[in-house]
Structure 1
Amino acid sequence: MTAAPESIAKTIAGELARRIVAMCYSDLPEQAIRWAKIGILDTVGVTLAGSVEDCVRIVASVEGIGAAQGSSLVFGTNRRVPALDAALINGTASHALDFDDVGESIGGHPSVPLVSAIMALGEQVDAGGKDAILAYVVGFETESRIARAVHPYHYDRGWHPTTTVGVFGTVAAAARILKLGEAETAMAFNLATSLAAGVKANFGTMTKPLHVGHSARSGVLAALLAKGGFTAGKRAFEHPQGYFNVFNGAGNYDAAKVFKHWADPLDIVEPGFGLKQYPCCGSTHPAIDAVLKLRCEQNINADDVTAIEVLTNPRRLPHTDKPEPRNGLEGKFSIQYVTLRALLDGRVVLSHFEDVAVRDPCIRKLLPLVRAGAHPEMPTDSKEQFAAEVVVTTRAGKKLSARVPHQICRGLANPMSREELWAKFEDCALRALAPAQARPLFEMLERLDGVVSVRDLTDAIAVRRDAFPRMERTKVG
């Protein structure tokens, strides 16, 4: 590995590179390793579940994508393709169901920009389980610290930080897997500023998971190009027409936050991330929890309800206030739909986001009863970023309410048990794998730090069939 020249070392990309190259597995605290394994395990599960979705099949059917043989597994198949194609397809699959974890610092989904890239490159270079864990932690730290520098303005402006920031986590993870030096890593970061993309206007469509596939592929591409000697500007973050000023605008970011308290503690340890219990947008989860709490405590009969009011932080509403979802994808981003589903069924599960479920006549009849709005005690700048209150009005005119305080899914304060992790993983994995494959894979992921080769892991993930060759490829022109 080569050190960065002085001209690069004094830049943001150069300082990121220096810190990333210096991080070692032996320096990782036990909690970081534990949560990295959980994050990778959960992401593998949701990627398998997403691998059978239409958006993934369409991406994989485009002529030229996945057509060549390579070393990297396409989840949901037994095929191996070039790493760039695997990162694109698997990255899209990982976010197809919006069932992946949520991070407070990134303001999005921290694991999906990382795992598909780590797996794809890990197979290519025959990385070990500890290499994968280190790459994940390094990537998590990088994307989280850059996110702190640009939020909340970046999110409110309409960018999708999972990818517009997550791409830099991918670069960091890829650089570690490829064992790049400081100069190469810095160049990969600078290059990636031109590859960052994703706007919230496309939430609730197939394009949102494509954001992740594109981001994962872009991060891998940046690292591979830098390894080959490709060049980019040396100050692509801080330049007047660089990443910070273009994406946020002058005065709307604090670049110093990238390095403030770097790895002290690691962001994966504090504040960490939360696992999703429900396969829909994390911004809707507090409302689901509130209505489930109300349902349990008050024994509410849906036939006795005349109105449902969902009050939450106004920052949650631009992408979830969808009173009339038309299909399963839009249902994932409709706080009205998921609240009603939770009230009616006492749970929110994958089958609720099939198109037929969203179009159920009973649901369509009751959706007008649900109104969403900003909670007067949860201003945009409050600590109650992920919180909600649900107020149900009965036919007798009685108002029943339940409130859930700030909580991002199931994280450090309220972790999933091993049994709950397995239940979610099994439900996801069995959408693509044979029943006999799921449990051994789960246990292998639990002991990832003892896995000699990522190839052993992907051998366990590979299915015994292959759907994609039967797909009619979409030709260009």
Structure 2
Amino acid sequence: MTTHSQNLSTFLSGLARSDLPEEVASFVTERIIDTVGVMVAGSVKPHSKVVLATARELYGEGPITVTGEAKGLPLLEALLVNATMAHGIDFDDGHNFLHPGCVSVPASLGFAQHVEASGAQVIRAVAAGYEASIRASLAAGIDHRIRGYHPTATCNIFGAAAAGGLLLGLDPEHMEWALAIASTESSGLGQYKHDGSPIKHLHAGIAARKGAQAAFLARNGLRGFAEAFEGDLGFLQLNANMKNVVELDADLGSRYELLKTETKLYPSCRQTSCASDLALDLYDLHGLRPEAVERIEVRVPEWAMKEWHISNEMPANNLRAILSITYCVAAAIRHGRLTVAEFEDSALQDPVVAELIDKITVHEGTEETKGWPPLRGASADVWRTDGTKISVRSKNAKGSPTTPLTGKDLRAKFMSLAAPVLGEDKAGELHGLLAEIGQQPRIDPILALLRGPTRH
């Protein structure tokens, strides 16, 4: 009888030789486009520059493309930097408990350059990465989060190992070794939530680098242990529990969990997304403006009732703003939008937003808690200074599987992120190549557009 770990490894290895369902291949192409756009925008952030400078100091130049840079890095270091960039503005996609794209996409692109893979192989590698990361996170479940772990780090390492392992041609046994090696390297703490440390963004880079290393070690013959996930001293027993172990391999090949991935409309934590939708509806559909607000009550799932989500203090830094429901609601009503600009340091000095935050309270909503996860609903009541009241509710955030974005929406998001860095023409050309990545015999033209110099 095979184990859960063996079944998952066999499936992931087999994706290299299988034709993905058209729905899956098309959806993965969208994930690649979305993640690359975020990665380009994240390339100019200070924390990304620190990681890049450190990698150059320690490891020098190499052949693998670094987003926005004329000079590359060795493969593992390039993945460290590019994945940090892809999670660098918190605009990357999400699935229940983690952000899969920020690791699986840069890992697949880097490995594809290393082995000179086709675009079709990149799509398979990304699919393997998503399924490995997501399956691990579903098996770990909510208990993994309650213990303080950040699954974008702890579970995405499996995605990097799977994507890299597929492009290195690992058979099922060696893929199982790669996942085992990755399991013993898994790390990532949620302590960043308290003070807004940019270590959160680095988590994706660490997962990509260590997962890639695991794939190489397995390829070169380092034997991993059996039952890496379900063993009595394995990943699940030590970091969560065994309640959801069947999620590792349930319906593999017939149920692609990656299809439930959400596209984010705002560069903020997904716990803020639905409340942000409501705030923008209040602005657009009801004409609500800051001077008309007397008070606002927002209801969210119990999971979102954390200090870093509901504080009435003006955020001290970018990441604290990204995590704050009160800030996102206030900024949306203040500006009528919620873009990268609203999370810059200068925006955190706005007295109008600070005054609005004082008027917002967040409570647990019974219906919202019932639906979470997978739904991330919110509702709100607004009392206006003229004595009238507005009530709004949404069961799930825009961009979720129940309310997906259109191709036009996805392109608009990509261009809004890539064009300020690359320029309009170059960003448009890059989008076009990514949209046809499955037909590309090599991804060199895509990589050429990703390289610098960029327009800062």
Q: TM-score range by the shorter chain?
A: over 0.9
8 Å CA contact 1:314–1:380 kept in 2: the answer is: no
TM superposition shift of 1:108: 1.9
For the residue of structure 1 that corresponds to 2:381, the secondary structure is: strand
In the alignment, what sits opposite 1:475? none
For the residue of structure 2 that corresponds to 1:430, the secondary structure is: helix
Q: 2:290 aligns with which of 286, 294, 302?
A: 302
Which of the two has greater helix per residue? 2
With normalisation by structure 2, the TM-score equals 0.93
| Change in 2 beyond 3 A, CA 1:263/1:322 | farther
Q: 2:404 aligns with which of 404, 412, 415?
A: 415
Give the Cα–Cα distance (whole angstroms) in 1 for the partners of residues 411 and 360 of structure 2. 33
Q: Deviations over 1:180-208 (max 9, x none)?
A: 12222111111111111122221332011
8 Å CA contact 1:60–1:66 kept in 2: the answer is: no
In the alignment, what sits opposite 1:438? 427
Give the Cα–Cα distance (whole angstroms) in 1 for the partners of residues 22 and 379 of structure 2. 36
TM superposition shift of 1:397: 3.9
Give the Cα–Cα distance (whole angstroms) in 2 for the partners of residues 382 and 180 of structure 1. 37
In the alignment, what sits opposite 1:453? 442
Q: Deviations over 1:114-139 (max 9, x none)?
A: 01111111111111100100011112
Give the Cα–Cα distance (whole angstroms) in 2 for the partners of residues 431 and 66 of structure 1. 30
Give the Cα–Cα distance (whole angstroms) in 2 for the partners of residues 77 and 112 of structure 1. 18
8 Å CA contact 1:88–1:216 kept in 2: the answer is: yes
Identity %: 28
8 Å CA contact 1:141–1:263 kept in 2: the answer is: no
Write the mapping of 1:46-195 to structure 2, written as runs, cut at 5 A. Answer: 46-62=38-54, 67-104=59-96, 107-195=97-185
For the residue of structure 1 that corresponds to 2:84, the secondary structure is: helix
**1:348 matched to 2:338:** yes
Q: Deviations over 1:2-47 (max 9, x none)?
A: xxxxxxx944433322222222465311110111000001101100
TM superposition shift of 1:232: 3.3
| Change in 2 beyond 3 A, CA 1:422/1:64 | closer
TM superposition shift of 1:65: 5.3
8 Å CA contact 1:383–1:406 kept in 2: the answer is: no
In the alignment, what sits opposite 2:269? 281
Q: Deviations over 1:323-376 (max 9, x none)?
A: 321122211111001101111221111100111101222222332111112113
Amino acid at match of 2:321: G
TM superposition shift of 1:295: 2.7
8 Å CA contact 1:72–1:80 kept in 2: the answer is: yes
TM superposition shift of 1:433: 1.2
8 Å CA contact 2:421–2:455 kept in 1: the answer is: no
In the alignment, what sits opposite 1:321? 310
Amino acid at match of 2:172: E
Amino acid at match of 1:288: S
8 Å CA contact 1:79–1:466 kept in 2: the answer is: no
TM superposition shift of 1:465: 5.5
For the residue of structure 2 that corresponds to 1:310, the secondary structure is: strand
TM superposition shift of 1:379: 2.7
In the alignment, what sits opposite 1:34? 26
| Change in 2 beyond 3 A, CA 1:459/1:66 | farther
Amino acid at match of 2:86: S
In the alignment, what sits opposite 1:374? 364
**1:18 matched to 2:2:** no
8 Å CA contact 1:389–1:401 kept in 2: the answer is: yes
For the residue of structure 2 that corresponds to 1:194, the secondary structure is: helix
With normalisation by structure 1, the TM-score equals 0.90
Bigger drift between 55-64 and 65-74 goes to 65-74
8 Å CA contact 1:315–1:385 kept in 2: the answer is: no
| Change in 2 beyond 3 A, CA 1:114/1:189 | same
8 Å CA contact 2:4–2:246 kept in 1: the answer is: no
8 Å CA contact 1:314–1:379 kept in 2: the answer is: yes
Amino acid at match of 1:330: R
Write the mapping of 1:234-273 to structure 2, written as runs, cut at 5 A. Answer: 234-249=226-241, 252-269=242-259, 272-273=260-261
8 Å CA contact 1:291–1:402 kept in 2: the answer is: no
**1:205 matched to 2:197:** yes
TM superposition shift of 1:211: 0.5
For the residue of structure 1 that corresponds to 2:121, the secondary structure is: helix
TM superposition shift of 1:64: 5.2
Bigger drift between 339-348 and 197-206 goes to 197-206
For the residue of structure 2 that corresponds to 1:373, the secondary structure is: strand
| Change in 2 beyond 3 A, CA 1:67/1:430 | farther
TM superposition shift of 1:293: 1.9
Give the Cα–Cα distance (whole angstroms) in 2 for the partners of residues 219 and 34 of structure 1. 25
TM superposition shift of 1:281: 1.0
Give the Cα–Cα distance (whole angstroms) in 2 for the partners of residues 300 and 15 of structure 1. 53
| Change in 2 beyond 3 A, CA 1:93/1:66 | farther
Gaps of 5+ in 2: none
